[in-house]
Amino acid sequence: MEAAPSTAWTGVRELDWAQFQEQCGLPLQAAVLDAGKVTRGTRVLDVGCGTGILSVLGSLRGADVTVIDGSEAMLNVARQRLPACDVRLADLEALPFEASTFDAVLAVNSLFFARNLEAAVREMARVLELGHLTQTWLAVSDDSEATTSGASWYHQRRQRPAADSVNQRFQD
């Protein structure tokens, strides 16, 4: 299935977004990488990478990073920052990867762009290697610590999930 470009960022200057928002979110990005156990050689998929700051930081840790986003404009910035990485325009609900491809599947402030959240989470679980974590962070508390305010979930995949198991949510 070919990805339909997103119009969610129409009118937003991508570099302005990166320069402002990324500085505020650095503690969160580091916490997500820590929670995903991202180190040298970890195969990471950054779902909804935006301008790519999470992936830049993951690459600095030595991870093998692949990124997807629905915005070609955001991906243009990510491609400049991540010339050695696989950077693709892709749909959150139909990831263009084989099952069990990644050790860590990470999403920061991106899943709310999915038309079908359950399908997006199911896809994240599908491409995740058995026994590894997918981290989804959707909100950060105001105290600038990399903690969540009730909207963060992770699903540890120990076996192929049944359709209803994708809905399991665990408070981090």
- pLDDT tens digits along 49-95: 989 999 999 999 999 999 999 999 889 999 999 999 999 999 999 99
DSSP 51: T
CATH entry 3.40.50.10240 includes domain 14-160:
no
Q: What is the mean pLDDT of the chain?
A: 75
Sheet of strand 64-69: strand arrangement:
86-89, 64-69, 43-47, 102-108, 128-137, 153-156
Contact 77, 9 (CB under 8 A): no
Tell whether the model's pLDDT for residue 12 goes beyond 90. Answer: no
DSSP 144: S
pLDDT for the residue numbered 172: 33
pLDDT for the residue numbered 106: 92
Tokens of 1: 């299935």
Lookup result for tokens 């762009």:
113
pLDDT band at 145 (very low <50, low <70, confident <90, very high): very low
Element (DSSP H or E) covering residue 81: helix 72-81
43: β partners: 64
